[in-house]
Amino acid sequence: MGCCSCFGFIRKHKRSLRSISGYGGWCSRELLWSFNLEDVDGDSYNGEATNTLYGGDGEMRSHAKRSEEILMSRTQNGMICREIPVKETRKVVRTEDENGNKMVNEYVREYKIGSGSYGKVVLYRSSLDGKHYAIKAFHKSHLVKLRVAPSETAMTDVLREVSIMKMLDHPNIVNLIEVIDDPNTDHFYMVLEYVEGKWVCEGSGPLGGIVESTVRKYLRDTVSGLMYLHAHNIVHGDIKPDNLLVTSTGVMKIGDFSVSQVFEDDNDELRRSPGTPVFTAPECCLGLTYHGKIADTWALGVTLYCMVLGQYPFIGETLQDTYDKIVNNPLSLPEGINPQLKNLLEGLLCKDPKQRMTLDAVAEHCWVIGEGGPIPRYLCWCKRNRLQKEESDGSGKDAHITITD
């Protein structure tokens, strides 16, 4: 997820510690796995990726092939949520503007704003509409050489991320605008909506976290986006503050689908977790099969804990120590915390996945409702079309779903 690894790609770790901006605690670098590659503009790129858990590569990657088939089938059957398709450009022109700034087609490079598993994210400005865009840049030659399983490469992961994002259209999900893939060059670009707001955990509040009213707004937005994904049988796989972005108007958006998976039906069983260790659900730490949606819900709980308290609920000195604490340590909450918020955190961070609070329950929880009411269900484009077809066929049963903008 995010700046995390794909399935099956284990990397050498470092033992130093670093502080996390906006957090009151420390995060062990042993929880992350790093690697180096040359970035698209020729600079030195140092990305970070997380570990995977136990089991064989072939066993773990088996679902990825099914994901590609599912995505292709959905595309062929028009089961996408976008009224306006993602623009696909098959030609790359790399030039400079009159000020010597590098350009990719009509986009003028400004500065690097982040890193992912296989490439970097750079802020560009369009010379056509003047708007800013975040562009993920990759080397195809590197992706196809980077083996993530016996029969798959990192290119598989990137293409799956693109395929998933081509289907999504929701106000709380970062939008994919354009894919630039020239078969005659080594460069591959994903042009994304630029979310200019602050990182979700930046700010001040009780115990170094964010004030409660703001946390509620952020959580409602995140739950809305995550419910939309799960309704389409998509598991994000890396819900965490780094992958939640806030616009200048205070709207939260979920980003980075680099380790997301799609399922044909409600059977979302997975073998491994590719996510960030401190956000990993207990059942994932045990190396057993687990359900992706409920693991997403645990990660949402860890994220809420971080936003409220400014630290992680479970973290150790080593990777294994962190997993042990996730599995065995009781949840610790400070005295004086809002009882409703305490109940919500305890429900989300329930170690038994069968007893863990569901997203539907979160959406109707008294703390989440606050003064805003239950989180409205988003009527997406593909479901709207399906309901209209059912109504025209005389088979529509219940079209009373709230449309959110």
Kind plus residue range of the DSSP H or E element containing 125 = strand 120-126
Q: Any binding-site annotation on 136?
A: yes
Three-point CA angle 156, 162, 166, nearest 5°: 145
Read off the amino acid at residue 24. Answer: G
Cβ 376 vs Cβ 317: under 8 Å: no
Distance of CA 202 to the CA centre of its chain: 18
Residue 266 annotated among the catalytic residues of the structure: no
Cβ 283 vs Cβ 327: under 8 Å: no
**Tokens 């964010």 belong to residue:** 210
Burial class (CB in 10 A: 0-12, 13-18, 19+), 78: exposed
Cα–Cα dist 253/175, whole Å: 9
Cα–Cα dist 306/203, whole Å: 12
- CA dist 147 → 13, 153, 287, 358 (Å): 18, 4, 22, 35
Cβ 119 vs Cβ 39: under 8 Å: yes
Residue 337 DSSP one-character state = -
Read off the amino acid at residue 174. Answer: V
Question: Catalytic pick from 39, 57, 238, 242?
Answer: 238
Three-point CA angle 211, 213, 215, nearest 5°: 70
Cβ 310 vs Cβ 22: under 8 Å: yes
Cβ 4 vs Cβ 276: under 8 Å: yes
End-to-end alpha carbon distance in the chain: 27
Cβ 139 vs Cβ 181: under 8 Å: no
Q: Residue ranges for the binding site for ATP? A: 136
What residues act catalytically?
Answer: 238
